[in-house]
């Protein structure tokens, strides 16, 4: 028997290895050789996930809010990337990034309910994301991730995604 339904509590019910923001790589960037659905460790052949979603493992919405607030504390002092951000709508930006990441990692789908399909590459088109901008974004995100003091495997999983996504978001090469 095959069950095409993605696990509701696998690593990112709205994420997965194939795309940046939606199930099965619909988020844009199909990765050759990477399965569209994440591999989930299960109890028995069709049993529940033995590992749960990263969203649950790391503490749910409050942890993502801490991550994103800490990230923006760094970004606010960054002379290269802060000018791109809406200074008069910082709370909105915090909500958008936190809600997106929660959804990606298996939390509630509130981001897409409010904002529609993530289309992250398209939404970043207005910004000049050079390798310098990307490295600064990653620097602030790294500090924010480390501040959470996650279990090493959770941290590695979260970081691998953020690093890959940031590279995919680079749209200006000079
Ligand atoms: C590589 C460097 C990046 C830069 C310089 C950058 C910059 C920006 C800026 C200026 C905004 C607008 C802020 C707002 O009004 O919400 C934004 C929005 C956003 N970014 Fe990035 N970003 C980067 C990478 C990423 C990555 C890697 C992700 C996901 C893992 C991401 C996810 C988002 C999301 C979800 C939004 C809100 C989209 C919306 O609903 O309008 N960004 N980004």
pLDDT of 52 reads: 86
Residue 5 counted as domain residue? no
Residue 95 counted as domain residue? yes
Report the atom number in ligand 1 closest to the C-alpha of 165: 27
Residue 15 counted as domain residue? no
Q: How far apart are CA 26 and CA 15, in angstroms?
A: 9
Closest Cα to atom 27 of ligand 1: 166
- Digit-coded pLDDT (tens) for 59-115: 999 999 999 999 999 999 999 999 999 999 999 999 999 999 999 999 999 999 999
Residue 16 counted as domain residue? no
What percentage of the chain carries pLDDT values higher than 70?
72
Residue 4 counted as domain residue? no
C-alpha dist (Å) from residue 126 to 115, 163, 169: 17, 21, 12
Range of the structural domain that residue 67 is part of:
54-169
pLDDT of 121 reads: 97
C-alpha dist (Å) from residue 145 to 46, 96, 156: 33, 17, 10
Q: How far apart are CA 110 and CA 27, in angstroms?
A: 16
* Domains identified in the chain, total number: 1
Going by C-alpha positions, the residue among 130, 117, 115 that lies closest to residue 169 is 130
Residue 18 counted as domain residue? no
131 Cα–ligand 1 center, Å = 15
Residue 69 counted as domain residue? yes
State the CATH number of the domain containing residue 113.
1.10.490.10
Report the atom number in ligand 1 closest to the C-alpha of 81: 5
Pocket test for ligand 1, best of 21, 96, 112, 142 (most atoms within 8 A of CB): 96
Contact (Cβ atoms closer than 8 angstroms) between residue 42 and residue 50: yes
Residue 121 counted as domain residue? yes
């Amino acid at each position: 028997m095959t069950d095409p339904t993605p696990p509701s509590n696998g690593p990112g019910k709205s994420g997965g290895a194939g795309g940046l923001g939606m199930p099965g790589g619909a988020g844009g960037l199909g990765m050759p050789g990477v399965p569209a659905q994440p591999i989930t460790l299960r109890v028995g052949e069709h049993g529940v996930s033995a590992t749960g979603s990263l969203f649950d493992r790391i503490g749910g919405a409050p942890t993502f809010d801490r991550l994103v607030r800490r990230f923006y504390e760094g970004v606010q002092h960054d002379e290269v990337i802060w000018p791109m951000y809406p200074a008069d709508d910082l709370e909105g930006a915090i909500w958008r990034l936190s809600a997106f990441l929660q959804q990606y990692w298996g939390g509630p789908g509130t981001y897409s309910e409010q904002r529609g399909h993530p289309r992250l590459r398209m939404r970043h088109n207005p910004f000049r994301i050079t390798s310098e901008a990307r490295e600064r974004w990653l620097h602030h995100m790294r500090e924010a991730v480390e501040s959470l003091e996650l279990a090493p495997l959770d941290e590695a999983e979260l970081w691998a995604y953020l690093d890959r996504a940031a590279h995919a978001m680079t749209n200006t090469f000079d």
